[in-house]
Amino acid sequence: MTLLVSWIGVDDKKNGKSVASLYIASDSRYSWGKYGKYDYGIKVFGSTRYPDIFGFCGDVLFPSIVFGQLIPQIDSGLIFNDSDIGEIKNKKFCDFLRTSLESYPKEQLAGSFTILHGTRISKEFKCYKTTYSTLYGLKNIEIRLPSFSTKVCSEGSGKNEFDKNFAIWESEKHNNHRTSRGVYHCLITTLNNIKDLQTGGKPQIVGLYRVSNMRLFGIVDNGQKYIYGKESSENIFSSTVEWRNENFERVNPETMKLFTGAQRQPI
């Protein structure tokens, strides 16, 4: 079922604290029980035209098919409008999901699934969680975003291990208590030591800031670069995405070191 995590970064403004960033991250493993695994599976998505990001866990095939159809249509301007508020965009997404599900053979669904939808209207961030099970069908809720940096949701078969580890970062004595990077540290720690066989591979992350649309993050680990869990050994144009190391620090993809003047973060 994998591990799906979302968190926010909050900063201080003149009118008080406000959300400055929203992230959705996952591991990269597709698994078929004892029949095999694939650690390059895409589980997070985003629009280049609108500030909307998504991630899923649970059943693999149906959500993959849905996002393969949904994202190109969003980017082509066929589903969302510039005037849509967050609730409207989320409703349109749920309607798209529901009509797709109606035609899908239910016997081919490998259990339940959960989808997170993050969006931003002007400077206001929203996050929604949609779940499906054969018993309860589709359910959708808005996740309340607090006024401090923290995890806002964790789902999947790796959730228990992640939440147990995150209790360490939630301690007020921890250097990264209530920081965005603290959630990422916990994600890395969990994936590096995961016992759940359905969870594995490198992390993959999409995010939203106060400006622009989806940000895709590349991962630097032990001197290697990864995109969507796959090592980028090909001659890619690395400067087109942000690269983060194990401390969630911005890294120059050419030198594999912190950008000049970047402040190191406590572990």
Q: In this structure, what are the phi and psi dihedrals at residue 126, rounded to the nearest 5 degrees?
A: -135, 150
Range 48-56 average pLDDT: 97
Question: What confidence tier does 9 reach under pLDDT thresholds 50, 70, 90?
Answer: very high
- Enter the tokens of residue 231: 């090592």
**Which pTM does this prediction carry?**
0.93
Q: Domain containing 90 — which CATH number?
A: 3.60.20.10
Predicted pLDDT of residue 266: 57
Distance CA 74, CA 92 (A): 10
Task: Flag whether 14 is in a domain.
Answer: yes
Task: Flag whether 174 is in a domain.
Answer: no
Range 119-143 average pLDDT: 95
Q: How many domains does the chain have?
A: 1
Q: Is residue 84 a contact partner of residue 92, using CB atoms and an 8 Å limit? A: yes
Task: Flag whether 186 is in a domain.
Answer: no
pLDDT above 70 (res 196):
yes
Task: Flag whether 155 is in a domain.
Answer: yes
- Using one digit for the tens of pLDDT, what is the confidence trace for 97-113? 999 999 999 888 878 99
Question: What confidence tier does 263 reach under pLDDT thresholds 50, 70, 90?
Answer: low
Distance from the first to the final alpha carbon of the chain: 29
Range 86-92 average pLDDT: 97
